[in-house]
Structure 1
Amino acid sequence: MTTTRDKPGILDGYRVLDCSIAMAGPFAAQRLGDLGADVVKVEPVTGEWQRHASAGGATGNRINVSFLSLNRNKRSLAVDLKAPAGKEVLRRLVADADVFLQNYRPGVAARLGVDYASLAAINPSLVYVSISGYGEDGPYARRPGQDLLLQAMSGAMLSTGRTDEAPRAAGQYLVDAVTASTAFEGVLAALLHRERTGEGQLVTVNMLDAITTLQMQELSVHTVGGLPQTRSAEPHAHVYIRSPYGAFRTADGYLVIAFPPLKTLGGLIGDDTLAAMDDEEHGWTHRDEIFARTAAGLLHRPTRHWLDAFEAAGIWAGPVYGYADLVDDPQIRHNGTFVTYDHPTEGRVTVPGFPYRFSAAPPRIDRGAPLTGEHTREVLAEAGLAEDEIEELFAAGTVVETS
């Protein structure tokens, strides 16, 4: 995977002002930086909130791992936007910016004077992206847009698992991640529109819509097909897919199976009753029985035995990985899914890389996550502030710099 600048990036020459915090906004901005955009992270003089929040208890030297993972390919400008001089600094930057990204709580952008109308008056060609939890307005606009709360509200947690068990969340920040991807797509589409028309615009993205539209198939089965969302007594992996479908214990671990032909599966695991069942009829009407029979049949052999047998029979199956298994997988290594680079304070860093490939302009890592205000002075100089103006801002504490 390319990690150094040997070709111009697709977004070279574009300036992004990233005023977002936590995961969704910073993740979207990082992807823009990976494609070559000059991303300036505009953060408080004390540093963005995520700098001070641990990730699974992991810490770094001067940058914790959660911030490190979401803020590569950015420069940091640390400025007090509550101070009049700080607001003026941001307005100077907006004049030459291409994208402005924020996920403030409702009303905060307007109070700071950085709402779309205010900034579009300075730069009509600006692509302004606002990320919220539930929408810009409406009855839930002021609710906290936290990942688990949105997973629960989305309906997804009741599409898997047992009827008598508590709903289970995804094992990652799923809503944050899909919202980041949605915002990233929105920026690219709005920039393409601007290239064609010269117009900037407001792009609004919210977490509730992002996770809802991700379930296009499932919700259509409910809204168009009229089928209820009914969990099973067994831990079936999806309410709208026939049995068996899910994770199963073997003699030495786990594997997953996706809707195999019941006759073939029954023959392999030695279950004549299963082999005599019809895929489409019994796969729905006898979902729990099929799951239980499959589970019992897989217990007496190790995972590798079953994976080899299923592959030979054309059954869709696969291993259940932990992270240690994932990073050592031969396909992951072949793809270059992870990238390794040297960070000035955190040392050798290995992290997930880029989810896309471009032959003419590959993504790359030009810099790791910045220290708080590490690039304040150079960003202000680029915005046209004179040296004496910059020194006044430092003296007043409106901006800070860390080296």
Structure 2
Amino acid sequence: MSVLSGYRVLDCSIAMAGPFAAQRLGDLGADVVKVEPVTGEWQRHAAAGGAAGNRINVSFLSLNRNKRSLAVDLKSADGRAVLARLVASADVFLQNYRPGVARRLGVDYESLRAINPSIVYVSISGYGEDGPYAQRPGQDLLLQGMSGAMLSTGRRDEAPRAAGQYIVDAVTASTAFEGVLAALLHRERTGEGQLVTVNMLDAITTLQMQELSVHTVGGVPQERGDEPHAHVYIRAPYGAFKTADGYLTLAFPPLRTLGEILGEDSFLDLSDEEAGWHQRDELFARTAAHLATKPTRHWLDAFAAAGIWAGPVYGYADLLDDPQIRHNGTFVTYDHPTEGRVTVPGFPYRFSATPPRIDRGAPLVGEHTREVLTEIGLDEAEIGALFDRGVVAETA
């Protein structure tokens, strides 16, 4: 038994934000039915990093475990009738169509609420359900640029820096996941379903609660300096620094202590707050010059002994081998019927009584079409007729 066992989620989303949110619900035990076109969801055909896989590319594999696949043509009347039958037994419906598409398909909130008044309906968009940007493409990099976050790091004369992750998609997925759980809790208390709307622009904006409040309330401008400082609103030295054999991160150490370790007498009488803000570039440059002279381990040991916050800069191979990562069981390994032994990031939460688990890997296109149709009451003749007309599909 898992914490969401007994709940059914219909995942009609594509790409990352929606599928990632639905996968987390599946990890907690929900029966997630991925409702995808008969040719398969878009992400099946767009392999990030060129990792194509055997029958399922790595991008799709990473976002769609613990789901069953129903391949159905929602542009046909018969396909929409199948979905209506499924909605009647569902608890959550999740989609990230462009604004207006759900209504054209007849799967908007009002239409589905008429079938199942207690449905929790989650709509994810790029910029909002309406407004001047509603029809713009909600792509991660575009939202990073618009959010202001790219200008909170790096040098003033360099191009803005993007995150090395699909950070907007990820935070939007987490926001949608939270929204589902909150709406289900409300329904448990009242019996009432509702519409939950999430958009990528608001998700990445609210993630910057502290930074934007410093600007809006504190009146401090967002100004990058001449050195690659890691954050415009944190005092120096703060960032990633080159060492004799690699890199390390250093987070706003007491300047006197840092000066003693580095042998930099000019730091000894400086005020952390005053100099840390107003001499940011100078502090960064002098710190960088010292750190480049000795190996990473030398500096990390010295900083640890002095209580200074510092750490290594990992690549993915280093991360996998880290003792804390191994202790936490951060990565999980399971066997997939077509992709073999798979090692991937696991679960970001822990439950003492209802732990998350992987019951199945990402499904093949329509792998569970017959199974799902049978569960909603269609007999063999009806199912066969849907296959004959091309309304639904299954894995060959």
Task: Tell me by how many angstroms 1:277 deviates.
Answer: 1.3
Number of equivalences: 396
1:163-185 Cα deviation digits (max 9, x unpaired): 00000100000000000000000
| Residue in structure 2 matching 1:137, options 126, 130, 136 | 130
Answering whether residue 154 of structure 2 is matched by residue 161 of structure 1, we say: yes
Take 2:284 and 2:267, find their aligned partners in 1: how far apart are those partners? 10
| Residue in structure 1 matching 2:394, options 392, 396, 401 | 401
Aligned to 1:87: 80
Answering whether residue 30 of structure 2 is matched by residue 25 of structure 1, we say: no
Take 2:267 and 2:280, find their aligned partners in 1: how far apart are those partners? 11
| Residue in structure 2 matching 1:269, options 262, 274, 298 | 262
1:273-296 Cα deviation digits (max 9, x unpaired): 122211010000100000001001
1:196-220 Cα deviation digits (max 9, x unpaired): 0000000000000000000000000
Aligned to 2:43: 50
| Residue in structure 2 matching 1:239, options 219, 232, 245 | 232
- Matched position secondary structure for 1:42: strand
Take 1:275 and 1:38, find their aligned partners in 2: how far apart are those partners? 61
For 1:96, the aligned partner's letter is S
1:110-159 Cα deviation digits (max 9, x unpaired): 00000000000000000000000000000000000000000000000000
Answering whether residue 92 of structure 2 is matched by residue 99 of structure 1, we say: yes
Answering whether residue 35 of structure 2 is matched by residue 35 of structure 1, we say: no
Aligned to 1:110: 103
| Residue in structure 2 matching 1:281, options 265, 274, 282 | 274
- Trace 1:2-401 onto structure 2 (pairs within 5 A): 8-401=1-394
- Matched position secondary structure for 1:166: coil
Aligned-residue CA RMSD in angstroms?
0.5
- Matched position secondary structure for 2:9: strand
With 197-206 and 268-277 compared, the bigger mean Cα shift is at 268-277
Take 1:181 and 1:106, find their aligned partners in 2: how far apart are those partners? 21
- Matched position secondary structure for 1:56: helix
Take 2:291 and 2:219, find their aligned partners in 1: how far apart are those partners? 34
Task: Tell me by how many angstroms 1:88 deviates.
Answer: 0.1
Take 1:29 and 1:19, find their aligned partners in 2: how far apart are those partners? 9
Task: Tell me by how many angstroms 1:397 deviates.
Answer: 0.6
Task: Tell me by how many angstroms 1:93 deviates.
Answer: 0.2
Take 1:391 and 1:59, find their aligned partners in 2: how far apart are those partners? 32
> Mind listing any 5+ residue stretches in structure 2 that lack a counterpart?
none
For 2:309, the aligned partner's letter is W
- Matched position secondary structure for 2:59: helix
Take 2:121 and 2:24, find their aligned partners in 1: how far apart are those partners? 16
Take 1:327 and 1:232, find their aligned partners in 2: how far apart are those partners? 34
Task: Tell me by how many angstroms 1:387 deviates.
Answer: 1.3
Take 1:210 and 1:105, find their aligned partners in 2: how far apart are those partners? 17
For 1:317, the aligned partner's letter is A
Q: Is the 8 A contact 1:274 1:293 kept in 2?
A: no
Q: Is the 8 A contact 1:264 1:313 kept in 2?
A: yes
Aligned to 1:3: none
Take 1:212 and 1:78, find their aligned partners in 2: how far apart are those partners? 35
> Mind listing any 5+ residue stretches in structure 1 that lack a counterpart?
1-7
- Matched position secondary structure for 1:327: helix
Task: Tell me by how many angstroms 1:374 deviates.
Answer: 0.2
Q: Is the 8 A contact 1:99 1:128 kept in 2?
A: yes
TM-score normalised by the chain length of structure 1: 0.98
Q: Is the 8 A contact 1:132 1:206 kept in 2?
A: yes
- Matched position secondary structure for 1:77: strand
Give 4+ residue runs of structure 1 displaced > 2 Å after superposition: none
Q: Is the 8 A contact 1:106 1:142 kept in 2?
A: yes
- Matched position secondary structure for 1:341: strand
1:80-130 Cα deviation digits (max 9, x unpaired): 000100000000000010000000011100000000000000000000000
Task: Tell me by how many angstroms 1:55 deviates.
Answer: 1.2
For 2:310, the aligned partner's letter is A
1:3-29 Cα deviation digits (max 9, x unpaired): xxxxx0000000000000000000000
TM-score normalised by the chain length of structure 2: 1.00
